[in-house]
Amino acid sequence: MAVTVKQMAMIVAFFGVLSFIFGIIAENKKPAAGKPVPWKDVVICKYPSDPSVALGYLSFAFLLVSTVVGFLSLFYPYQGKSLPQAALFRSKSFVVFFNISLLTAGLAAALLLWTTITEQLHLSRNVHHNLKTDCPTAKTGLLGGGAFVSLDSALFWLVALMLADNAREDYFEESDKDVKGSGYTEVHGADYGQHVVKGSA
């Protein structure tokens, strides 16, 4: 079964929404701080149950899938017809949205991954020699911000896909016209040659 533009768009949107949802849940589940417990010459930070690390990695994974599918969907040979990249990048609107899609995907990945790794480090390295530590967690708001940028990235991929589909239709319409035009010329020339032969006879 051939893959269609609509199916690609649904996949991009589906994983983009999943990335957004898991990022928002991770932000809401992240504790504001841990509880410092003094012990000898160190402080051990006790954190409540924190699923934000797993949720953050899931959000990043879904963003990655959405981005890869979004990128591939622009150049996929639908109906077995490959579109030259030059025909796509001839459109200024496509170039703009293509670059915005890449930038937002990179920004969302950086926010989600950096915050999730930071949170994981806080949870794993919970023994501090600084007796005044307040047992911090990753900065609040970054996971949520990454989730929103992830959703924006998926929307920009969809716009870029729509523009690529328009460019594809225009390109193949022009190609069909060129083929029909050249075919008409050849038939007309052949008919003219037959008339000349008949006239000579």
- Position 72 scores a pLDDT of 94
Structural contact between residues 117 and 72, judged by C-beta atoms closer than 8 angstroms: no
- Position 8 scores a pLDDT of 94
- Position 7 scores a pLDDT of 94
Residues contacting 168, CB < 8 A, separation 6+: 78, 81, 83, 87
Q: Where are the domains of the chain?
A: 5-200
- C-alpha triplet 9, 14, 18: angle, nearest 5°: 150
Q: Which residue has the higher pLDDT, 141 or 180?
A: 141
Over residues 100-139, the pLDDT tens digits come to 999 999 999 999 999 999 999 988 888 887 777 888 888 8
Q: Which amino acid is at 152?
A: D
Residues contacting 73, CB < 8 A, separation 6+: 5, 8, 9, 11, 12, 157, 161, 164
Over residues 1-23, the pLDDT tens digits come to 578 889 999 999 999 999 999 99
Structural contact between residues 146 and 115, judged by C-beta atoms closer than 8 angstroms: yes
- Position 1 scores a pLDDT of 54
Over residues 40-91, the pLDDT tens digits come to 888 888 888 889 999 999 999 999 999 999 999 999 988 888 888 888 888 8
Over residues 156-194, the pLDDT tens digits come to 999 999 999 988 888 877 766 655 555 444 444 444 444
pTM of the model: 0.81
- SS3 state of residue 48: coil
